[in-house]
Amino acid sequence: MATTLKTALISGAGSGIGRGIARALDGLGIRLALLGRESAKLEETRAGLSGGASALTVSCDVADRNGVGGAVEKVLETFGSIDILVCNAGTNVRNRKLDVLAPEDWDRMVAVNLTGPFNLVKAVLPSMRERGSGLIIQICSISGLRASTLGGAGYSASKFGQSALGMCLGREEGIRGIRSTVIYPGEVNTPILDARPVPVPADRRAAILQPEDIAAAVKFLVELDPRARVPELVMTPTVDDFC
């Protein structure tokens, strides 16, 4: 199915899950638009792709609505279409409990984790509607399905919102041939763990999900026949309990 899904826009593509997804889709021969705040990290991702020469890097903060609009325009001008949108950019803070959670940290998490995906969807959706096809994937979190004190109230609230965005999107746009999936990963070994109040030990990092695990799920969704969609997909480390 990769031949009918030719261009993917991935936010948060400079490291972690975003970089893993870029590598997986590059392996399918899909043209890539890599979106992130730091140009140097995007270039590192591009350098590791076999099709890196054709990949487009665009520096943008997903919380900046005008910036996202300009980035999407650039991708459409370069490639002509965006067939796959992966809303992956996300953030968390160190002080997560409500008694120490700063209002500005709450605002930033909502801006990146919830408003960011909305900005991307709002900018990309019109072109998908015109073509009558598209795949939009929200890289959410298990904290968007089960409120987590580990992730924190602000992070959980923003991720619950992202989940609702993806679910409503699928219900509204399926009739137009646009598929929407919300992926809820448990703990993943990415740089976001560095913001934890308590450092994550090496043995725990090795036991939890890795970026390539989430990338494999995205690859599955991309290769799935467009007649079928997966509204929600939960992924957790095997060593963890989930109920």
- Catalytic machinery residues: 155
Contact (Cβ atoms closer than 8 angstroms) between residue 113 and residue 164: no
- The CA–CA distances, whole Å, from 149 to 12, 85, 206 equal 24, 30, 22
DSSP 8-state secondary structure symbol assigned to residue 106: H
From CA 162, how far away is CA 158, in angstroms rounded?
A: 6
Q: What are phi and psi of 217, to 5 degrees?
A: -65, -40
Contact (Cβ atoms closer than 8 angstroms) between residue 11 and residue 35: yes
Contact (Cβ atoms closer than 8 angstroms) between residue 105 and residue 46: no
- Complete edge-to-edge strand list for the sheet that includes strand 31-36: 56-59, 31-36, 7-11, 84-87, 134-139, 178-185, 232-235
Joined tokens for residue 94 = 């160190």
From CA 157, how far away is CA 110, in angstroms rounded?
A: 8
Rounded to 5°, angle at Cα 129 from 125 and 130: 120
Contact (Cβ atoms closer than 8 angstroms) between residue 160 and residue 138: no
